């Protein structure tokens, strides 16, 4: 099973981003993310044996309780840079999200899952860019946007997701939910 851990978006923010994608999609022939697949990854796990799924859920359930995490979605950009883009992203401002990502990394490392080697950089992947294209029409469409603020919310839980490759793109399924604060 191909797995990752992440935070889901509320309907209002997802709707704002869906309208953004609808507006920008005609400007570039790149691999756009579907709105229903937008999420904030806090830990990529990769392949994990199905027979050990309960062990993984137990480790994630042990992540330290904390208040809801304030998340603000705003701005867009390119990884690794605008001159040689591979990913088109939407920015995330959430000072309390990196500690959750670090603790998730610790919890999964205890099970033998490789630790992250790069600093945590929270973002929403809006599209992947697989070939060199003229992205000037996309840049112009971005410049014409009335706002680069897509909403804010308080994340009260995180999820374990399964990612399955399908002919039309990846399908993400929530396998478990983990509240941030005890109920």
For the four alpha carbons of 56, 123, 100 and 13, in that order, the dihedral sign comes to: negative
Q: Over its length of 183 residues, how does the chain's per-residue pLDDT go in tens digits?
A: 999 999 999 999 999 999 999 999 999 999 999 888 999 999 999 999 999 999 999 999 999 999 999 999 999 999 988 888 999 999 999 999 999 999 999 999 999 999 999 999 999 999 999 888 888 999 999 999 999 999 999 999 999 999 998 877 788 999 999 999 865
Phi, psi (deg, nearest 5) at residue 4: -155, 165
Q: How far is CA 1 from the centre of its chain?
A: 18
Kindly report, residue by residue over 162-180, the tens digit of the pLDDT: 999 887 778 899 999 999 9
Kindly report, residue by residue over 81-112, the tens digit of the pLDDT: 888 899 999 999 999 999 999 999 999 999 99
Q: Which secondary-structure segment (H or E) carries 42?
A: strand 40-47
Write out the two tokens for 44.
């990529």
Using CA atoms, how far apart are residues 117 and 40, in angstroms rounded to an integer? 18
Write out the two tokens for 151.
């909403």
**What are the chain's domains?**
2-179 (3.90.1140.10)
């Amino acid at each position: 099973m191909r797995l990752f851990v992440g935070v889901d978006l509320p309907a209002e923010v997802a709707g704002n981003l869906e309208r953004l994608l609808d507006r920008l999609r005609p400007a570039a022939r790149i691999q756009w993310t579907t709105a229903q697949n937008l999420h904030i990854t806090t830990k990529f796990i990769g392949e994990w044996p199905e027979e050990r799924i309960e062990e993984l859920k137990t480790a994630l359930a042990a992540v330290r309780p904390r208040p809801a995490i304030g998340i603000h979605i705003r701005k867009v950009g390119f990884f690794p840079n605008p001159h040689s883009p591979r990913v088109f992203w939407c920015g995330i401002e959430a000072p309390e999200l990196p500690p959750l990502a670090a603790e998730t990394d610790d919890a999964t490392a205890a099970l033998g899952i490789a630790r992250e080697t790069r600093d945590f950089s929270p973002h929403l992947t809006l599209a992947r860019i697989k070939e060199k294209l003229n992205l000037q029409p996309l840049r112009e469409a971005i410049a014409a946007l009335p706002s680069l603020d897509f909403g804010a919310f308080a994340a009260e839980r995180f999820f374990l997701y399964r990612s399955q490759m399908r002919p039309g793109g990846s399908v993400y399924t929530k396998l478990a939910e983990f509240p941030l604060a005890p109920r």
